[in-house]
């Protein structure tokens, strides 16, 4: 591992440097950066706003309102987290040389700041929108020891969450997103600027994307950026190419009737799929929120035998109350 003296200390609160590389999710950027780091000021607040806008009248209204409350609590949890550590430029370059993402959770050991974020999320979330399993999970997490929480985080990150702890794992996922998004935002985007990303995994933390957004500009057809499920970074990825296996051979598309701004890109080689949103047709998209609001498309392509890594907030247990 990396000697502590060579790590760059994370600053805290208002001293955080601005990255200047916001997500540009409204499509205002004509030029396309290979890797964009998240903007802490807006990443969770825009996501919460989008979820609240999507919720009214939606068949998953209760669920979307619940996740909106969770994301609102994530935004509040960002403030004044304890200082942590980040990889420096040389450590990032070393990780890249061996094709590792520098903030890969199995490679970069997390500090305690994610547990501080978790306790803030548990304290500040709007309890009124939580269904009973989520309330029980919140209470159980409040009683859990740090060692138990670390073990649950390891199980979540390793994809080994038991059915009975899925509701707790959603709060844990939210807290880990806060910690990883902050780390990603504080990295220097120049360390990623010269590298063309060649994989479907996040170049910052190695996690799978929640969805891809195609923004106008650049070329006639626009660029696709994939959006990370953990650290909220995004990276440019060739269009019409499987994000799972890289194949360009047998890629086909599915969409729901009446939704031209969204398609599932399905790969006949590995039977994986990913969602693609088109910003030129629907301006206010947010990659994680709109993924959750379009689970009907996941059902459709799932029935055809295609699969993906699910959105972190879809673990099957936090069903909307009363529906």
Q: Which residues bind Zn ion (CB under 5 A)?
A: 202, 204-205, 207, 228, 230-231, 233, 242, 244-245, 247, 267, 269-270, 272
Q: Give the residue with the Cβ less far from Zn ion, 38 or 131.
A: 38
For Zn ion, which is the closer residue by CB, 65 or 244?
Answer: 244
Judged by beta carbon, residue 73 or residue 231, the one nearer Zn ion is 231
Q: Decide if 84 contacts 186 (C-beta within 8 A).
A: no
Q: How far is the CB of 210 from Zn ion (least distance, A)?
A: 10
- Distance in Å, CB of 16 to Zn ion, minimum: 18
Rounded-to-integer distance, Cα 318 and Cα 323, Å: 12
Residue 144 vs 314, nearer CB to Zn ion: 314
| Nearest distance from C-beta of residue 142 to Zn ion, angstroms | 28
CB 202 within 8 A of CB 179: no
Asked whether the beta carbons of 229 and 309 are under 8 A apart, the reply is yes
**Which parts of the chain fold into alpha helices (H)?**
43-54, 61-77, 89-97, 113-124, 132-143, 146-157, 166-186, 190-193, 287-292, 295-303
> For the chain, first and last CA: distance in Å?
49
6: tokens are 């060579």
For the bound state, the minimum distance from the C-beta of residue 203 to Zn ion, rounded and expressed in Å, comes to 8
State in angstroms the smallest separation of the CB of 202 from Zn ion.
Answer: 3
Give the relative orientation of helices 113-124 and 146-157 as an angle to the nearest 10 degrees.
100
**Total number of residues shown for the chain:** 323
- By beta-carbon proximity to Zn ion, the closer residue of 22 and 272 is 272
Question: Which CB sits closer to Zn ion, 274 or 294?
Answer: 274
CB of 38 to Zn ion, least distance (A): 9
Contacts of 229 (CB under 8 A, 6+ apart): 202, 207, 208, 209, 210, 288, 309, 311, 312
């Amino acid at each position: 591992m990396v000697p502590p003296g060579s790590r760059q200390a994370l600053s805290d609160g208002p001293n955080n440097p601005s990255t200047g590389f916001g997500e540009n999710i409204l499509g205002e950027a004509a030029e396309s950066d290979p890797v964009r780091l998240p903007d802490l000021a807006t990443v969770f607040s825009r996501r919460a706003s989008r979820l609240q806008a999507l919720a009214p009248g939606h068949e998953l209204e209760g669920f979307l309102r619940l996740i909106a409350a969770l994301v609102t609590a994530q935004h509040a949890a960002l403030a004044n987290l304890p200082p942590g550590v980040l990889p420096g430029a040389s450590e990032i370059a070393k990780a890249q040389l061996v094709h590792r993402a520098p903030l890969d959770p199995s490679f970069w050991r997390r500090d305690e700041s994610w547990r501080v974020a978790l306790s803030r999320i548990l304290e500040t979330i709007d309890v009124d929108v939580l269904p009973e399993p989520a309330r029980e999970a919140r209470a159980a997490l409040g009683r859990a020891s740090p060692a138990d929480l670390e073990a649950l985080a390891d199980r979540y990150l390793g994809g080994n969450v038991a059915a009975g702890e899925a509701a707790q794992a959603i709060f844990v996922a939210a807290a880990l997103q806060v910690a990883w998004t902050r780390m990603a935002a504080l990295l220097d985007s120049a360390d990623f600027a010269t590298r063309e990303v060649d994989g479907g995994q996040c170049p910052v933390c190695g996690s799978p994307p929640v969805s891809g957004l195609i923004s106008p500009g650049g070329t006639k057809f626009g660029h696709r950026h994939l959006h990370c499920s953990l650290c909220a970074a995004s990276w440019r990825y060739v269009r019409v190419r499987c994000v799972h296996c890289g194949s360009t051979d047998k890629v086909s598309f599915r969409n729901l009737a009446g939704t031209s701004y969204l398609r599932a890109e399905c790969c006949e080689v590995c039977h994986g799929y990913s969602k693609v949103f088109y910003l030129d047709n629907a301006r206010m998209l947010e990659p994680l929120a709109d993924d959750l609001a379009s689970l009907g498309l996941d059902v459709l392509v799932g029935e055809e035998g295609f699969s993906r890594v699910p959105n972190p907030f879809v673990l099957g247990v936090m069903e909307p109350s009363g529906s």
